[in-house]
A and B are shown apart, each in its own frame.
Chain A
Amino acid sequence: MARLIKNRQLAENTVRHLGVDDALPGSDVTVPLARWQAEREQLRFYPHRVGVRLAPDEDPEVLIHDLAHLDLIAVAFPAFTDGRAYSQARLLRERHGYQGEIRALGEVLRDQLQFMARCGIDAFELAPNESPEAALGMFQQIDIHYQPAADGHAPVWQQRRLATQRRLLRP
């Protein structure tokens, strides 16, 4: 199984990604969106963690009534140059208020981890050739952010105002 970073630590990867016809294994799984939609009533009561895998062209909005039942939602980077999942993750977090795990699958490389994290992705299945130890160091590479995203950073003009106020308060 792919090596997993979750909440900025190396973590054990217990999730199996099932296809349309794979039997449920009695452990944590994700299924494609279509299977979730077809088997929602059974899967809701599956006694392990269950998640949905969104393809990059699928609209997260179709899941809004299911969010409470989903332990994780996986978004895909078929190539790291395909940036659609960034928008999907932000929509899930910021518009639809999803609180569960959002996991990045596919060509997940260390240089993109910070962008992914800022968009609300909190679990990362690293690409096979990527070093998990090196990847862990990438979350703080740049800690100045101009724009708000899903990670709670205020827009830069508010940060500047706060900095100015702090300076004024300093004795």
Chain B
Amino acid sequence: MYRYDEIDRELVHQRVAQFRDQTQRFLAGELSEEQFKPLRLMNGLYIQTHAPMLRVAIPYGLLSSDQLRKLAHIARHYDRNYGHFTTRQNLQFNWPKLEDVPDILAELAQVDMHAIQTSGNCIRNVTSDHLAGVNAEEIEDPRPYCEIIRQWSTLHPEFSFLPRKFKIAVTGTKRDRAASQVHDIGLHLVQGADGEVGFQVLVGGGLGRTPVIGKSLREFLGKEDLLSYLEAILRVYNRHGRRDNKYKARIKILVNALGIDAFRDEVEAEWAAIRNGALQLDEAEIERVTAFFAPPAYDPQARLDTSFAEHQTADKAFATWVRRNTRAHKVPGYRVVFVSLKAPGVPPGDITDTQMDALAALADQFSGGMIRSAHDQNLLLADVKLADLYELWQALSAQGLAHANIGTLTDMICCPGLDFCQLANAGSIPIAHQINERFDNLDYLYDLGDIRINMSGCMNACGHHHVGHIGILGVEKHGKEWYQLTLGGSSAEDTALGERLGPAIAKEEVAEVIARILDVYVVHREAEEPFLATVRRIGIAPFKERVYGQTH
């Protein structure tokens, strides 16, 4: 993990002091609501339906146990004993008091954390693959580059008032677990023709009201050119992106208006002028940052364990959890553990202060003191020995964190929706509850296999509904909540936008309609064919017929 030095620490402390001054001026009436808004947004502070919402940055989803304990402390002392993990690997507090926020930021600064650029029209927290560094197919660990980008983009004087927010994701394998194709910029570590490792650069992806899949801007970019190339893209966007309509202000609209070729010409011309300047990275800096992410000292004896197999034979529930909630690790003798934040009755992504403290202790005991947050709103312990899995499972179960549903229908990605968010038109959490109640038979869920539901309470698409295998979009009609369904979306390497199933569905019918969709899948699937593959093979018509044929 990257460790702050005095430079990083000083910056965060100065930023806390600056925000304290801004908040005091606002509370004293010296700053108008309108003037304070962009300032608080640059520090992750929204005004929500009930209270302010503070979004804390978790750079590329990596947390130490001390940091998680601090988040638990903040949840307990400044909020209502819980936090909510987002699709961008961050954590949100839904109930802080505005006047407490400077103190919360000061608490975060004690453990080298902050809320800088977690909202606002600036470069947001850089996201990455939650299996970075532990999966066997990796070309290179993407996290050092995330950190280099984090530093370059932090309080960037030129790019703090962009036309709109700007999101960057970096991945290091051919598998895409970071939804990089629906980011403003997606960076893929790739191997060039001569074996040199660099980046493929995608641009102009995004969801929201105008969902677009990113286009390839450059097939290969040398590592030394990473920051100068990003600066060139951002400068073209800052100068030419639309500012007259916030729904047309993302870079995807500019890329589509110019066409990718003309956009590329602009970027390349800008880049040519700055390429060999001060932003050129040298090998020493890449090595320095990479060293922070060096693998821990794995135990070569870990692979000799036999208890893991015995426990699986003896305890069926444990075996099921292993199958659903753990993944292969690149080092023999270890596994990656998913900590499910999708237990029934709990809003997806929510975690209590007690659970955070317990998980921090388990991370210390079993996984090098590190915790990761994933794009799909779950947490991970990435380096667990086979011999420790049974004890870890028992401890997680006691905390309600071992619900064995990772990758299944109830492992939903979900925005906060109408219950918390001012933008929302409809609830998402009540729909998640409805789905959990209807599909409470785990054996049925296991039989269905990998299915991803994404749910958003409005067109802004925070729950990424366009790219769910089943997408659910809340809309408001005549003062009532309705839900539009899409099928066939994906945010993985085969990224696709879902196709609309038909007219919106009444709130109380959502789970029933999903049940019918699943019936069609079960009838049509071939052998081990996953849901998404069946949808793609047979098309949307049979689903449409089953859903609407009976209700009309």
Q: Answer whether A and B are interacting partners.
A: yes
- Pairwise interchain contact B158-A87, C-beta atoms closer than 8 A: yes
Choose, from B5-13, B405-413, B490-498, B508-516, the stretch at the interface: B5-13
Q: Please, could you name 18 A-B residue pairs with CB atoms under 8 Å apart, sorted by A?
A: A80-B38, A83-B160, A83-B161, A83-B238, A86-B160, A87-B238, A118-B157, A119-B157, A142-B155, A143-B14, A146-B11, A146-B152, A146-B154, A147-B152, A147-B156, A155-B278, A156-B7, A160-B5
B552 at the A/B interface (Cβ < 8 Å)?
no
B220 at the A/B interface (Cβ < 8 Å)?
no
How far is it, in angstroms, between the C-alpha of A147 and the C-alpha of B274 when the chains are bound?
Answer: 14
Q: What 1/0 flags go to A20-49 for Cβ under 8 Å of B?
A: 000000000000000000000000000000
Q: Which residue of chain A is the closest to B273 with respect to CB atoms?
A: A95
**Which 9 pairs between the two chains have the least Cβ-Cβ distance?**
A83-B161, A118-B157, A148-B278, A144-B11, A115-B157, A157-B285, A86-B158, A146-B151, A142-B14
Q: Which residue of chain B is the closest to A159 with respect to CB atoms?
A: B7
Residues on A with beta carbons closer than 8 Å to the beta carbon of B18 = 141-142
- Pairwise interchain contact A82-B7, C-beta atoms closer than 8 A: no
Interface of B toward A, CB cutoff 8 Å: 5-7, 10-11, 14-15, 17-18, 21-22, 35, 38-39, 121, 151-162, 227, 235, 238-239, 243, 273, 277-279, 281-282, 284-285, 288
- Pairwise interchain contact B156-A81, C-beta atoms closer than 8 A: no
- Pairwise interchain contact B14-A81, C-beta atoms closer than 8 A: no
Checking B7, B39, B159 against A163 with a beta-carbon cut-off of 8 angstroms, the contacting residue is B7
Checking A84, A112, A148 against B238 with a beta-carbon cut-off of 8 angstroms, the contacting residue is A84
How far is it, in angstroms, between the C-alpha of A59 and the C-alpha of B156 when the chains are bound?
Answer: 21
- Pairwise interchain contact A86-B238, C-beta atoms closer than 8 A: yes
How far is it, in angstroms, between the C-alpha of A155 and the C-alpha of B35 when the chains are bound?
Answer: 31
A-B contact count (CB 8 A): 95
How far is it, in angstroms, between the C-alpha of A86 and the C-alpha of B122 when the chains are bound?
Answer: 13
What total of chain A residues lie within 8 Å of the partner, measured CB to CB? Answer: 34
How far is it, in angstroms, between the C-alpha of A77 and the C-alpha of B188 when the chains are bound?
Answer: 36
Residues on A with beta carbons closer than 8 Å to the beta carbon of B153 = 147
How far is it, in angstroms, between the C-alpha of A143 and the C-alpha of B152 when the chains are bound?
Answer: 15
Interface of A toward B, CB cutoff 8 Å: 80-84, 86-88, 90, 95, 109, 111-112, 114-116, 118-119, 141-149, 154-157, 159-160, 163
- Pairwise interchain contact A111-B39, C-beta atoms closer than 8 A: yes
- Pairwise interchain contact A115-B160, C-beta atoms closer than 8 A: yes
- Pairwise interchain contact A119-B279, C-beta atoms closer than 8 A: no
Residues on A with beta carbons closer than 8 Å to the beta carbon of B21 = 141
- Pairwise interchain contact B161-A81, C-beta atoms closer than 8 A: yes
Q: Taking the nearest CB of chain A, how far is it from the CB of B142, in angstroms?
A: 19
- Pairwise interchain contact B14-A87, C-beta atoms closer than 8 A: no
- Pairwise interchain contact B7-A149, C-beta atoms closer than 8 A: no
A142-B18, A147-B279, A160-B7 provided; 15 other pairs, C-beta below 8 A?
A81-B38, A81-B161, A86-B238, A88-B239, A90-B158, A115-B155, A115-B157, A141-B21, A142-B14, A146-B11, A146-B152, A147-B156, A147-B227, A155-B279, A163-B7
